[in-house]
Amino acid sequence: MPPHKLLTAAAQTTAPSHRDPAWSRRLSWSLAALVLLWPMLVLTEFKPWLLVDPASLNPTLHFLGDFLPPRFDLPFLALVARETWRTVAMATAGLVLALLLAGPMALLSVRALSVSALSGRMALGPAALRQAVRWTLVLLRSVPELIWALVFVRVVGLGPTAGVLAIALTYGGMLGKVYAEILDSGETHATNTLLRNGSGRLQAFLYGLLPQNGAELTSYTVYRWECAIRSSAVLGFVGAGGLGQQMDASMKMFSGSEVATMLLVFMALVWLADRISAWLRRGLG
Amino acid sequence: MQLALNELSAQHLTAKPLAKAALHAVTLSVRDGEQVAVIGPSGAGKTTLLHVMACALRPSAGSLTINGQAPWRLSATGLRNLRAALFLAPQVPPLPPRQRVVTAVLAGRLPQQSLWASVRSLFYPSDIALAERALARFGLADKLFERVDRLSGGERQRVGLARVVASQARLLLIDEPLSALDPTRGEQTMTALTALARERQATLVTSLHHVELALRHFPRIVGLRDGQIAFDLPTAQVTAEVLQALYAQHLHELSGAATLAPLQPPDEVRPVAMHCR
């Protein structure tokens, strides 16, 4: 029997109790998503076929041709190496500060460490505190780091400090939220039992939540470090120094070959972050 | 530590507010140093009873006193100190998969340890001898530095129990300690648990499915059925009839009770007379 005939036969002979109850809900949500997507595509003038239009293909190829060959002479490579080190240092310092900010806030907002929630509903005071911490995290990450960098450049002057502070604030908000979500969505049985047997909250975190979710927390943090490197490139455009500032200067002088070298360095950094994450996950997992 | 429950009712841990109570009007008192086994068919409320005794579940009616105090009227610090003096071992071993056995066992000491000592012990376990003694009681001394997820289910359950040795609890509430163990191991584990409770003069309340083991190791048996206490007797008075009344409609769970006589002995089957024609 051909497959489509089998399906219709099966549908006809399906008893009402054998119909999938989730199907109608899934279908309606998918249709709703498509209905919402259509006006968005129209509004953003989504016309990908224009990319391969002959009129636009010529300038694109000309622009890309400027990037080759990448500039590989030694003095320039030395400059790129120095700026790369500055960018990585900016990203790492920013992320460490973000961790110092996000760690305590994530612990304050995690439901799994609530003692009052062990035996029923959470008490009002602790619930209000957790909500307040969540709102602070939302506030920290809702301002784009470019805006923070522009503000800090006015306060502390040009240079990497502005970039570090901007990354610290925004990434603190992001890391705090995702850490709290990872800790709450993991298995909390071990942590609950430790709290029920009278251990302190931080002890329950160190002996229960942390070993349970260590690998996810680490891989997310390394991913965010990689994002911080890209962010510090963007922040370089507003004066925070590093590889981004160099790229801005090269683009203004239309030297595509220098930009190409720096992009290759970026790809190498992202690849390095990927390897570190895989190695850490293997070590912890 | 002594316990007293009076007309206590409690909802199941994850129940909706209007659901049927998991425990209804339970009155029970346990003296200091006593060892009690709680038996009953599935769904009788044994886990809920142990959680109520461990102050992990608020009763919806009735009263609970531990050492004469009402635990839910205590301050947060008082309740935490009370919880530090008891030990609740849940049915599923509460062990994070990537933790090592030595750390998991030494976590029993956390309520008595300062934060700084706990952090130091994470980097280098501070009392490995204690962990080894605890594991040796349950036959697992060779698994000291293994990771928890490399152990079998029965071994994980015994590691969860070995935590009791590291703690200083005076009230031990153990939920189904033998569910993943074979009969020999089950026997050894039960012996080790009761010996430990006797040494420490701690009160021990265990819920068990293995009725035979309960009858052998415990001087007092409490039968629970549909959230109510069916009987509360010394072991000598727990007969086969009492057990069958408790497990009625769930007789398949009453396995291993070899001394049980069936309710209706099968009639003698008389051979059919064959008439050759």
Q: Is B32 found in the same domain as B1?
A: yes
* Final residue in a domain of this structure, among B168, B201, B233: B168
Residue B73 lies inside a defined structural domain of this protein: yes
Residue A5 lies inside a defined structural domain of this protein: no
Residue B265 lies inside a defined structural domain of this protein: no
Q: Is B160 found in the same domain as B26?
A: no
Contact B83, B72 (CB under 8 A): no
Residue B196 lies inside a defined structural domain of this protein: yes
Question: Residues B49-64: pLDDT tens digits?
Answer: 999 999 998 888 889 9
Residue A45 lies inside a defined structural domain of this protein: no
Residue of B83, B92, B170 to mutate, interface with A, max A Cβ within 10 Å? B83
Q: Is B122 in contact with A207 (Cβ distance < 8 A)?
A: yes
What dihedral angle (degrees, nearest 10) is formed by the CA atoms of B20, B21, B24, B27? 170
Structure tokens at A171: 């990434």
Residue A197 lies inside a defined structural domain of this protein: yes
Residue A81 lies inside a defined structural domain of this protein: yes
Range of the domain at A191: 71-284
Neighbours of B167 (CB within 10 A): 23
Neighbours of A6 (CB within 10 A): 10
Residue A46 lies inside a defined structural domain of this protein: no
In this predicted structure, the answer to whether residue A143 has a pLDDT above a threshold of 70 is: yes
Question: Residues A17-69: pLDDT tens digits?
Answer: 788 989 999 999 999 999 999 999 999 988 888 888 888 888 888 888 888 88
Identify the residue whose tokens are 């409770």.
Answer: B197
Residue A38 lies inside a defined structural domain of this protein: no
Q: Is B110 in contact with A194 (Cβ distance < 8 A)?
A: yes
State residue A56's pLDDT score: 84
Question: Residues A78-115: pLDDT tens digits?
Answer: 999 999 998 999 999 999 999 999 999 999 999 999 88
Q: Apex CA A7: angle with CA A5 and CA A8, to 5°?
A: 65
Contacts of A59 (CB under 8 A, 6+ apart): none
Q: Is B183 found in the same domain as B145?
A: no
A residues 160-199 lying closer than 8 A (beta carbon) to B: 187, 189-190, 192-194, 196-199
Residue B63 host element (H or E): strand B61-66
Nearest Cα neighbor of B3 from B71, B93, B95 is B71
Residue A198 lies inside a defined structural domain of this protein: yes
Question: Residues A57-66: pLDDT tens digits?
Answer: 888 888 888 8
Q: Is B86 in contact with A189 (Cβ distance < 8 A)?
A: no
Q: Is B100 found in the same domain as B79?
A: no
Residue A145 host element (H or E): helix A145-156
In this predicted structure, the answer to whether residue A130 has a pLDDT above a threshold of 70 is: yes
Range of the domain at B234: 1-85+170-257
Total residue length of chain B? 277
pTM of the model: 0.84
Q: Is B69 found in the same domain as B54?
A: yes
Q: Is B252 found in the same domain as B136?
A: no
A residues 242-261 lying closer than 8 A (beta carbon) to B: none
Residue B248 lies inside a defined structural domain of this protein: yes
Q: Is B153 found in the same domain as B113?
A: yes
Q: pLDDT confidence of B270, banded at 50, 70, 90? A: low
Q: Is B155 found in the same domain as B179?
A: no
Q: Is B152 found in the same domain as B32?
A: no
Residue B266 lies inside a defined structural domain of this protein: no
Q: Is B183 found in the same domain as B79?
A: yes
Cis, peptide link before residue A69, omega less than 30° from 0: yes
Give ipTM to 2 decimals: 0.86
| CATH number, position A266 | 1.10.3720.10
Nearest Cα neighbor of B64 from B56, A116, B239 is B56
Residue A162 host element (H or E): helix A160-185
Residue B183 lies inside a defined structural domain of this protein: yes
Nearest Cα neighbor of B28 from B205, B175, B153, B146 is B205
- Amino acid in the structure at residue B70: A
Does B107 contact A at CB distance below 8 Å?
A: yes
* Final residue in a domain of this structure, among B109, B140, B168: B168
Residue B271 lies inside a defined structural domain of this protein: no
Residue B10 Cα distances to B46, B50, B59, B202, angstroms: 12, 11, 5, 25
Residue B268 lies inside a defined structural domain of this protein: no
In the sheet where B61-66 sits, what is the strand order? B23-30, B3-10, B61-66
| CATH number, position B245 | 3.40.50.300
State residue A59's pLDDT score: 84
Phi, psi angle pair for B171, to nearest 5°: -130, 115
**Structural domains counted in chain B:** 2
Q: Is B145 found in the same domain as B80?
A: no
Q: Is B180 found in the same domain as B155?
A: no
**Structural domains counted in chain A:** 1
Question: Residues B60-101: pLDDT tens digits?
Answer: 888 999 998 899 898 889 999 999 999 999 999 999 999 999
